[in-house]
Amino acid sequence: MEKQDVQEVIIPEASATLKYARISSRKVKIVIDLIREKSVDEALANVKYTPKAASEIIEKLLKSAIANAENNHNMTHEKLYVAEVYANQGPTLKRIRPAAKGSAVRIRKRTSHITIVLRERD
């Protein structure tokens, strides 16, 4: 049998990652589900007017990803869309709060790692 020449098509993509964001990934996922597969202008508009704590963080990260695409990868702003966006759980900061009868209650301050990947539409 002969080997077939298979050419891989490289799709240019730009990304931005925020690590150790002091917000639970569960809260972030509510907002990132709104912008998945949308054009960057539509995604920015959605995030700007969403009354959630994570929307401010995601807006800043999305602007960073757009700047990376335009400056580092020579992509055009009009063709960009949010190809992938995900929030993974980061390390949890464990704190202790005094409780009744001399006991203590553990407080878990959760963090998350958020990634946005942009690609160009054909």
User: pLDDT of 73-101, one tens digit each?
Assistant: 989 999 999 999 999 999 999 999 999 99
Q: What is the mean pLDDT of residues 109-122?
A: 93
The pLDDT of residue 84? 92
The pLDDT of residue 1? 61
pLDDT more than 70, % of the chain:
98
Of 109, 78, 115, nearest to 95 by C-alpha is 109
What is the phi/psi pair of residue 105, to 5°? -115, 135
Domains, the chain, ranges and CATH? 13-120 (3.90.470.10)
